[in-house]
């Protein structure tokens, strides 16, 4: 009471305690913003590294060779038996006549991909009349040349630490100056299967494998999931059995995916004797994995259909089954489809259980049926990521971009479906 | 496969025919007894019952034969083999049988095989053809005879709809038990192999042993091949990486959830939430690639600048990236939980003059704590079971170390390395993977069970 003057002051200025409380408030708010910024920054960082690394894989380097299909090489009747790699080497030698030593010649041959020989063979088999003529042929460059053209091999690094020698650099510069070296769109990446040569490796086999696997997953998990959701939500009496099913579904949704792989290995492959590494087994395993997702989403969307719909249908004389099949299920369908698409997107990105059932084999052939050995897209990514060659890193990033594009399309579809058919009761 | 290309269309055709016959019969019966209204069910239901009577027995027969074909024919062939072949030990006999099948299916050049085997192969093809003819006839009969009886039975009082609904209910119940069968399958498949493992390696050695080197010897005199199966270093590595992951995911995820639900404007929320959810949608193999090729070198280089020797497969890199992967799990689960705290509690606290931070700290968090703990437990089980990130970015050798800069291994990495490639199901090396799988399953199951319980209890509290 004696120091009225000071209290008056304090009434105008906030007390020390209040300042402290407000400061804590601000600090906390900043922490929250920092947490969100960190997560967002990570999303962008991840996308940025993968895009900047992978975008160049959609281009490919080609070298133009002057090939003389001289008659002496094709003396034999059998065109496939001719020495095509030798033909490639000979063309390179004539183009760079100054190269004399064995060692340099070997380096010279290293400029073009082994695929060049196959290309010449295809040309001859398609049109045997070119034998005896001289043709300008564009052939694939070796992956090291490709990396150099994409500036992923640094020219300033000392020669001993570089995969391209100085002398090869000279030749490449000469080819570029002559307009015999160019980069254009990489079609190989989308049309061929896996390969040990980075410039020949593509994702078509993996995409087809993923397609077959997902087709089986969808064909099994959608009907089973919808049926289970309908039963549990609409018909199941509430007893211990139903409780048990419910607990099981919730637990399965959180079981590590690799465990499903162990199940597939022990039961589908060892016990049932299904073939390893095939989309059938992969599809079965992924079905078991995605079922909980679909069932949970399906039940949620059945729950959101108001009881008045059911009462009205029952009121005009429909049976319980008719009520559900004719009225409730169609109204819940968009939600179920959304859940299914999200489940499929999960299945598309899943790798671990497929490793267990042997879908990690190196498979060059593009699978044609459900029982052919196949790789799937994420497993292909895993296999390439393990490969130490620089050119495969680029391919890995590009495959990831394709996988992410599929996932974005699928999730976008799910969002669209939800927005379009969402009913506010 | 050729058996399906013929029988499946036949089954479909006969079932359709049965449907239309049933439909017409129902209409005809109705016409005789006073119009369509005298029927108990819709004509469609009568048709469906007839179709079902046609398709179900036929498909059962087809599926049954598909499963039994190989066994039946093999048994007959084995019985007919000449004596010196039939008396071979089981393993060699199966080789002979394989050879017979290979010749029978035209995959092998028959020239190198003995005449007895070639005869058996010819017999195999013959038997297969005869049996398939018999089965095909059987299927046609099974698909066409039962509907005839059903058609005779159709009358206005036949409760066709109830029959249909009963069948549908059986199907629905069957589908919903798939979940239980899956769990049962997991338990049985993992348990049996694990038990075989524990016959070779005592359980105590497995759980308390400090040495993990699962490479068993091919020859007895090989060096370093005793094969030690002490799982402690593997668990330690798993716990180390999961701890690093959770120490990233819990603070960031919780703070993000709190900020989004308590502070952020609706517009900010609608834009930020989906971007955060992208993190949950990225496949784990992508994270693994990113951890191994971007984050791990970054940490190693940063370490060498400071003068620390960091392994290029450090637990830190795998743990950090895994933590980032888990952020959306923590944040979206705790977001739900925080949302469930009644608005009246917030209003009460703010009305008494508390700042927002104080409201969160003293009112909302204590109220939401059980739910948050539940969601963290779920995230932990996720971190322990995560495979691809650690397979690609963590090490293979089991070091008993809690230093985040060294390379450690995890349960999932060991399962993958033990099972990828050639497997022999009688060596402890392969079976060890199932023992680890069993432990992983039991551990995550317990975590999930507790977490789901806690979350459910918590929800009920405010409903």
> Hey, CA dihedral for A337, A343, A344, A349, is it positive or negative?
positive
* ipTM of model: 0.88
> Is B391 in contact with A352 (Cβ distance < 8 A)?
yes
Whether A220 and chain B come into contact, CB under 8 Å, resolves to no
In Å, how far is A394's CA from the nearest CA of chain B? 11
Q: What are the chain B neighbours of A235 within 8 Å (beta carbons)? A: 169, 172
Q: How far apart are CA B440 and CA B446, in angstroms?
A: 10
User: Helix, strand, or coil here: B250?
Assistant: helix
Helix residue spans in B33-114 (DSSP H): 43-80, 83-86, 90-104
pLDDT at A1: 46
pTM (predicted TM-score): 0.87
Q: How far apart are CA B142 and CA B380, in angstroms?
A: 54
In Å, how far is A231's CA from the nearest CA of chain B? 6
Q: What six digits make up the tokens of B412?
A: 């999932």
> Hey, CA dihedral for A72, A74, A76, A77, is it positive or negative?
negative
Domain A204-421 sits in CATH at: 1.10.3720.10
In Å, how far is B85's CA from the nearest CA of chain A? 25
Helix, strand, coil percent values for chain B (each to nearest 5): 80, 0, 20
Helices A16-54, B232-258: inter-axial angle, 10-degree rounding: 120
Q: How far apart are CA A391 and CA A140, in angstroms?
A: 14
User: Helix, strand, or coil here: B213?
Assistant: strand
* Average pLDDT of the residues in B149-172: 88
The pLDDT of residue B175 is above 80: yes
What secondary structure, in 3-state letters, does B154-199 show?
CCCCCCHHHHHHHHHHHHHHHHHCHHHHHHHHHHHHHHHHHHHHHH
Whether A295 and chain B come into contact, CB under 8 Å, resolves to yes
Confirm if A376 and A238 have CB atoms less than 8 A apart. no
Q: Which of B169, B251, B415 sits opposite A258 (nearest CB)?
A: B415
pLDDT at B273: 85
| Average confidence score pLDDT of chain B | 85
Whether A255 and chain B come into contact, CB under 8 Å, resolves to yes
* Domain residue extents for chain A: 4-55, 59-192, 204-421
**Between B436 and A165, where is the model more confident?**
B436
What is the DSSP annotation of B328-395? HHHHHHHHHHHHHS-HHHHHHHHHTT--HHHHIIIIIHHHHHHHHHHHHHHHHHHHHH--HHHHHHS-
Could you give the domains of chain B? 2-176 (no CATH), 228-462 (1.10.3720.10)
Q: What are the chain B neighbours of A411 within 8 Å (beta carbons)? A: 281
Angle formed at CA B379 by CA B389 and CA A282, multiple of 5 degrees: 50
The 10 Å CB-count burial string (b at 16+, else e) for A242-260 is: eeebbbbbbbbbbbbbbbb
* Average pLDDT of the residues in B84-106: 75
User: Helix, strand, or coil here: A166?
Assistant: helix
Q: How far apart are CA A84 and CA A124, in angstroms?
A: 10
Q: Which is nearest to A350 in space by CA: A266, A286, A263?
A: A286
Cα-atom radius of gyration of chain A, to the nearest Å?
Answer: 32
Contacts of A176 (CB under 8 A, 6+ apart): none
Q: What are the chain A neighbours of B293 within 8 Å (beta carbons)? A: 385, 393
Q: What are the chain B neighbours of A254 within 8 Å (beta carbons)? A: 378, 381-382, 444, 448, 451-452
pLDDT at A5: 47
Contacts of A126 (CB under 8 A, 6+ apart): none
Percent of chain B with pLDDT over 90: 31
Which DSSP helix (H) or strand (E) runs through B285? helix B284-290
Which DSSP helix (H) or strand (E) runs through A28? helix A16-54
pLDDT at B202: 86
> Is B179 in contact with A36 (Cβ distance < 8 A)?
no
Confirm if A54 and A398 have CB atoms less than 8 A apart. yes
DSSP class of residue A184 equals: E
pLDDT at B306: 87
Q: How far apart are CA B225 and CA B215, in angstroms?
A: 6
Q: How far apart are CA A252 and CA B180, in angstroms?
A: 9
Neighbours of B339 (CB within 10 A): 12
> Which phi and psi (to 5°) does residue A181 adopt?
-135, 125
Q: How far apart are CA A123 and CA A38, in angstroms?
A: 55
| Virtual torsion, Cα B110, B115, B120, B125, nearest 10 deg | 40
Burial, B459: exposed, middle or buried (Cβ in 10 Å; 0-12, 13-18, 19+)?
Answer: middle
Whether B338 and chain A come into contact, CB under 8 Å, resolves to no
Whether B265 and chain A come into contact, CB under 8 Å, resolves to no
Q: What are the chain A neighbours of B419 within 8 Å (beta carbons)? A: 262, 265, 355-356
- Tell me which of A22, A53, A206, A262 to substitute to probe the interface with B (most B C-beta atoms closer than 10 Å): A262
Confirm if A309 and A331 have CB atoms less than 8 A apart. yes
Q: Which is nearest to B152 in space by CA: B63, B245, B29, B15?
A: B29
Whether A67 and chain B come into contact, CB under 8 Å, resolves to no
| Virtual torsion, Cα A128, A133, A135, A141, nearest 10 deg | 70
pLDDT at A399: 94
How high is the mean pLDDT in each 10-residue block of chain A (425 residues)? Answer: 51 82 93 93 92 89 84 74 82 82 83 84 82 84 85 80 81 84 87 86 92 95 95 91 88 91 89 85 94 93 93 93 94 91 93 88 83 89 87 91 94 86 74
Q: What six digits make up the tokens of B51?
A: 């179709």
pLDDT digits (tens, 9 = 90+) for B261-282: 889 898 998 888 888 888 888 9
Q: Which is nearest to B104 in space by CA: B82, B87, B128?
A: B128
Q: Which is nearest to B404 in space by CA: B294, B323, B283?
A: B323
Confidence of residue B251 (pLDDT cuts 50, 70, 90): very high
Confirm if B326 and B383 have CB atoms less than 8 A apart. yes
DSSP class of residue A276 equals: T
Contacts of A400 (CB under 8 A, 6+ apart): A50, A54, A381, B286, B289
pLDDT digits (tens, 9 = 90+) for B362-372: 999 998 888 89
Q: How far apart are CA A123 and CA A138, in angstroms?
A: 12
- Residue A6 to residues A17, A18, A57, Cα–Cα distance (Å): 16, 17, 73
Q: How far apart are CA B432 and CA B415, in angstroms?
A: 8
Neighbours of B72 (CB within 10 A): 13
Whether B335 and chain A come into contact, CB under 8 Å, resolves to no
Q: Which residues pair with A59 in a beta bridge?
A: A185
**Between B363 and B457, where is the model more confident?**
B363
Residue recorded with tokens 């939430």: B273
**Between B400 and A264, where is the model more confident?**
A264
Q: How far apart are CA A104 and CA A12, in angstroms?
A: 88
pLDDT at B106: 66
Phi-psi domain of A317 (left: phi exceeds 0; alpha: psi -120 through 50; beta: other): left
Q: Which of B283, B355, B445 sits opposite A22 (nearest CB)?
A: B355
- Residue B81 to residues A266, A340, B108, B116, B226, Cα–Cα distance (Å): 32, 52, 20, 8, 43
* Average pLDDT of the residues in B349-358: 93
The alpha carbon of A289 is separated from its chain's Cα centroid by a whole number of angstroms, namely: 19
* Average pLDDT of the residues in B129-145: 87
What is the DSSP annotation of B298-342? HHHHHHHHHT----TT-HHHHHHHHHHHHHHHHHHHHHHHHHHS-
């Amino acid at each position: 009471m004696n120091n009225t003057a000071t209290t008056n002051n304090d009434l105008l200025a906030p007390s020390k305690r209040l300042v402290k409380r407000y400061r804590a408030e601000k600090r906390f708010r900043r922490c929250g913003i920092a947490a969100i910024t960190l997560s967002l920054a990570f999303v962008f960082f991840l996308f940025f590294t993968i895009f900047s690394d992978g975008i160049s894989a959609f281009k490919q380097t080609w070298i133009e060779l002057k090939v003389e299909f001289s008659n002496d090489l094709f003396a034999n009747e059998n065109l496939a038996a001719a020495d095509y790699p030798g033909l490639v080497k000979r063309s390179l030698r004539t183009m760079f006549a100054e190269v004399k030593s064995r060692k340099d010649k070997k380096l010279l041959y290293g400029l073009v991909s082994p695929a060049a020989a196959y290309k010449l063979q295809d040309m001859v088999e398609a049109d045997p009349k070119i034998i005896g003529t001289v043709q300008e042929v564009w052939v694939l460059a070796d992956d090291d040349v490709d990396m150099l053209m994409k500036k992923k091999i640094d020219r300033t690094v000392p020669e001993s630490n570089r995969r391209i020698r100085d002398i090869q650099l000279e030749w490449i510069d000469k080819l570029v100056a002559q307009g015999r070296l160019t980069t254009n769109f990489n079609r190989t990446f989308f049309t061929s299967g896996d390969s040990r040569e980075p410039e020949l490796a593509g994702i078509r086999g993996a995409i087809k494998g993923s397609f077959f696997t997902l087709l089986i997953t969808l064909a099994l998990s959608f009907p089973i999931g919808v049926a289970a959701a309908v039963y549990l939500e609409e018909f199941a009496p509430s007893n211990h059995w139903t409780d048990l099913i419910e607990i099981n579904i919730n637990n399965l949704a959180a079981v590590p995916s690799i465990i499903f792989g162990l199940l597939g290995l022990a039961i589908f492959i060892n016990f049932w004797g299904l073939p390893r590494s095939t989309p059938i087994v992969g599809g079965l395993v992924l079905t078991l994995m995605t079922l909980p997702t679909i069932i949970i989403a399906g039940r949620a969307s059945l729950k959101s259909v108001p009881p008045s719909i059911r009462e009205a249908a029952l009121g005009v004389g429909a049976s319980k089954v008719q009520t559900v099949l004719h009225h409730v299920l169609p109204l819940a369908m968009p939600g179920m489809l959304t859940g299914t698409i999200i489940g499929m997107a999960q299945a598309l990105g899943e790798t671990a259980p497929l490793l267990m059932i042997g879908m990690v084999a190196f498979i060059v052939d593009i699978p044609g049926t459900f029982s052919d050995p196949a790789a799937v897209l994420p497993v292909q990514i895993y296999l390439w990521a393990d490969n130490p060659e620089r050119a495969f890193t680029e391919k890995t990033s590009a495959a990831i971009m394709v996988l992410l594009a599929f996932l974005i399309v699928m999730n976008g579809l799910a969002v669209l479906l939800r927005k379009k058919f969402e009913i506010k009761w | 496969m050729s058996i399906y290309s013929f029988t499946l269309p036949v089954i479909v055709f006969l079932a359709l025919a049965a449907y239309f016959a049933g439909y017409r019969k129902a209409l005809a019966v109705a016409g005789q007894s006073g119009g369509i209204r005298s029927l108990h069910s819709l004509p469609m239901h009568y048709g469906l019952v007839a179709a079902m009577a046609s398709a179900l027995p036929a498909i059962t027969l087809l599926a049954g034969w598909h499963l039994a074909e190989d066994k039946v024919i093999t048994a007959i062939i084995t019985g007919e083999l000449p004596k010196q072949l039939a008396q071979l030990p089981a393993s060699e006999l199966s080789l002979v049988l394989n050879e017979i099948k290979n010749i029978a299916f035209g995959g092998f050049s028959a020239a190198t095989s003995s005449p007895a085997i070639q005869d058996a192969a010819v017999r195999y093809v013959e038997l297969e053809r005869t049996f398939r003819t018999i089965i095909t006839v059987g299927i046609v009969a099974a698909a066409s005879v039962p509907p005839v009886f059903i058609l005779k039975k159709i009358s206005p009082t036949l409760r066709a709809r109830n029959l249909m609904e009963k069948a549908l209910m059986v199907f629905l119940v069957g589908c919903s038990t798939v979940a239980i069968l899956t769990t049962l399958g997991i338990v049985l498949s993992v348990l049996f192999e694990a038990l075989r493992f524990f016959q070779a390696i005592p359980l105590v050695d497995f759980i308390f042993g400090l040495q993990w080197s699962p490479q068993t010897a091919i020859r007895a005199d090989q060096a370093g091949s005793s094969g030690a199966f002490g799982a402690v270093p593997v668990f330690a590595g798993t716990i180390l990486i999961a701890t690093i992951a959770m120490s990233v995911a819990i603070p960031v995820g919780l703070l993000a959830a709190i900020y989004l639900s308590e502070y952020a404007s609706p517009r900010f929320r609608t834009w930020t939430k989906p971007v955060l959810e992208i993190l949950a949608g990225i496949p784990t193999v992508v994270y693994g690639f990113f951890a191994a090729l971007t984050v791990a070198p970054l940490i190693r280089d940063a370490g060498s600048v400071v003068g620390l020797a960091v392994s290029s497969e450090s637990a830190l890199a795998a743990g950090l990236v895994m933590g980032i992967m888990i952020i959306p799990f923590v944040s979206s689960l705790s977001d739900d939980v925080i949302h469930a705290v009644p608005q009246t509690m917030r209003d009460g606290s703010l009305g008494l003059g508390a700042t927002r931070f104080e409201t969160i700290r003293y009112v909302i968090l204590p109220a939401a704590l059980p739910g948050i703990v539940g969601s963290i437990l779920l995230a932990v089980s996720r971190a322990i079971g995560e495979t691809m990130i650690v397979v690609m970015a963590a090490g293979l050798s089991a070091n008993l170390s809690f230093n985040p800069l060294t390379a450690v291994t995890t349960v999932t990495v060991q399962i993958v390395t033990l099972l990828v490639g050639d497997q022999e199901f009688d060596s402890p090396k392969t079976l060890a993977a199932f023992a680890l799988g069993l432990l992983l399953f039991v551990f995550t199951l317990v975590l999930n069970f507790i977490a789901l319980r806690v979350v459910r209890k918590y929800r009920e509290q405010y409903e």
